[in-house]
Amino acid sequence: MSVRSRLLGLGVQVQVGGQWSEPSAATLAYASPDRLVDVVHDAEGGPCMRATVVDGTASTVPPTSLWRATRLVSISGLGTDGATTDGGEEVVLRGANFGPSFELLDGWAAGFLSSVTYGPSRREYVAQGCRLASHSEIRCRTSAGVGRGHRWRVVVGGQETADYRDTVEARAAGLVLDYASPVLSSVSPLTGATEGGFTLHLSGTNLGLSDARRASSGDAVMTVLFGDLQLPVVAQSSDGQGGHSADVYVPESDGGARDVQVRLIDPAGRETLSNTLVFAFGPPTLSQDLNVVQALDGKFNAGDVSIRRRVGDFSIITRSGFVSNSVFFDFISPSFLVGDASSRPLLDTQGGTVIRVEGLNWQTDPSRINVTVGGAPCPIMPLESPVIVLEDETVSRFSLECRTPPGQGQGVPVVITRGGQASLPDFAWSYAPPSLASVDPAASLPTTGGRITIRGSNFGISGVVLLPGISVQVESWSHDTIVALVDAGEGATLSLEVDVAQQRSAPLPFSFAPPLITQAPATGPTVGQAGALIVGANFGVSMPTVSLVRSRLGVTGVLQSLQCPVVSFDHSQLVVNLPEGTGTGWRLVVTAAGQEPVAPPPFDFDRPELVRIDHDPLMGLPTSGGVEITALGANLGPSGAVFLRAFGGLEPAQRLQATWLRQTHANATFALPEGQGSTSRQC
């Protein structure tokens, strides 16, 4: 068979052994240095395989289909438990006709191994880092994946290994890859409340946290089976040593135990299940004795349940058949009359509000009756000789007055107890929300932060002070005074609020002190100045702006502004670059969070200075004008900011002004007008 190659277009022809002949071993022939080489290799005495390398790039498919069929015989390297789902394990593929692997004279490598893949159709997963060890051996690493029954496919020079089935013989030769099944080692917690909404943490191995498949059925690779529910994974992690963990949210339930498993879906849609662990919801529990209000016809109401018995034990049975503990009930319990909650007064948080309550099944003996508000005693009035009034003996209706204790919040439970038997709570009472009267200081706190004092009423026992975006730490708290430390901040008319048990006050305006400038440059050159220092206070926590501002000449109510870029800043000093400009009457303004100094300091650009006119005084200037003359000096300002005028013994109407042509801050060039005589000049 001919293996000759004519390399046209480069001006050369290549022959092997001086003639067009068929070599019996690998032959390397350079056409030109580092540009082209023809590689001819004998494949085990059979048909040849040839690669051409041009400019360092080797062909990966031979020019003719002369290869013997590639064969895959066996695979080794994986344990009996299967491959880890994380991948990265080395496997050795053995067979025949995997093609040559050789080094060229200049260190290049050439070969024809195209791909190594595996999966249910032999193509879903791409083996990683494959290298050709010889004609009969390839070494690769597994990819991250899941599932069982994955078959291998090797492509060499456009030819692939033959397909095969998942048989006992194929498995004995290692030709079928199984990923290890997921194993759950623990779930935490093992029990929880039926409300659900909490996180269940699963730990184990080979949970399939990542998957490198090329395509899938669209289902999630990993789900958690929770009884008959499928829960999505909300968080997952790996310790890098083979340990996996995953989190799911537990749904609400009516109780009982649930089997917990991990389910993995492979590219063909087949599932692999882990072992089973058990999570148990807590049993229903009653925490207090049951008390109800007597209704008509001898029937008693407990929520949505109506019972005719007067005394006994009470339990809850869920729809799933789980039974709670038993509590004692007595339906002849003290109770409150249901009234209009909107008419009940708000309670002062420092206590002392006298309230009147009515109810049934009390006693007139004060030693047998106790009233609590928010769990604290509400002493029956008058304190020296408490009185409980029997309003209607036929229905056993009573009334009393008591003085509320200190407290806070809305829906505060009021409970009456007769001889140790408590009523159902009356939640229609609330303490008043906090009310702000003043804050000191209200508008002069430094931007570095500091201590403030808030005065008002109904601050309760504890709460929080709120300033938007600023941390406030409470130092002391009473019902009418709060002392707190405010962190660094800035801005004016911020909303200061106090929140007590989710009751929020109306906002009170609060402002940090405006910027104060104590030291700043009063003058500067017209060319500008880099690194000017401004010293003061309250420059804020975010980048302030600095500008030179004055009224525009000849225009009422219109301001002219020049920006001064800020280089660096803190609360007490700024470093800025002064801009170029001219004139007087400027003011230096620092703006921090919309606040400006009360009295910004004045600033003037240096006056222009004329040193000389660049001309020969002995020769003079032509009376016809038209020549260029240059005025030399300093602080002449930006372009077009100066003029040159000649005057002397001339009347004002006869004074001559040169036409401006161009200038810098140090010189200006003019066109000389017509004139005569000796004059002074002004710039």
pLDDT digits over 206-264, tens only? 999 988 886 554 567 899 999 999 999 999 999 989 899 999 999 998 888 999 999 99
Q: What is the mean pLDDT of residues 534-546?
A: 95
311 phi and psi angles, rounded to 5 deg: -155, 150
* Fold category of 183-281 in CATH: Immunoglobulin-like (2.60.40)
Topology annotation, domain 609-682 = Immunoglobulin-like (2.60.40)
What CA–CA distance (Å, rounded) separates 548 from 172? 87
* CATH class of the domain whose range is 435-510: mainly beta
Please state the three-class secondary structure of 106-124 as a single string.
Answer: CCCEEECEEEEEEECCCCC
CATH number of 516-605: 2.60.40.10
Question: What is residue 652's three-state secondary structure?
Answer: helix
Q: Please give the Cα distance from 658 to 675 (Å, whole number).
A: 11
Average pLDDT (359-372) is 92
pLDDT band at 421 (very low <50, low <70, confident <90, very high): confident
| pLDDT tens for each residue of 104-145 | 555 554 568 899 999 999 999 999 999 998 889 999 999 999
Residues forming beta bridges with residue 457, ordered by sequence position: 435
CA–CA dist 605, 638 (Å, integer): 12
CATH number for 335-429 (one of 1.10.630.10, 3.10.129.10, 2.60.40.10, 3.30.70.20): it is: 2.60.40.10
Q: Do 131 and 161 contact (CB within 8 A), yes or no?
A: no
Query: What global pTM score does this model have?
Result: 0.49
Is-contact 509 445, C-beta < 8 A?
no
CB-CB contact of 458 with 434 (8 Å): yes
What integer best gives the mean pLDDT of the chain? 82
Give tens-digit pLDDT for 501-520. Answer: 999 999 999 999 999 999 99
583-621 pLDDT, tens per residue?
899 999 999 999 999 999 999 999 988 888 877 666 667
Burial class (CB in 10 A: 0-12, 13-18, 19+), 72: buried
d(CA 630, CA 643): 11
What is the per-residue DSSP string for 307-343?
A: E--SEEEE--B-TT--B---EEEESS--EE----GGG
DSSP string, 436-479: EEEEESSS-B-TT-EEEEEEEE---S--EEEBTTB-EEEEEE-S
- Domain boundaries for CATH 2.60.40.10 within the chain: 183-281, 335-429, 435-510, 516-605, 609-682
How many angstroms separate the first and last alpha carbons of the chain? 99
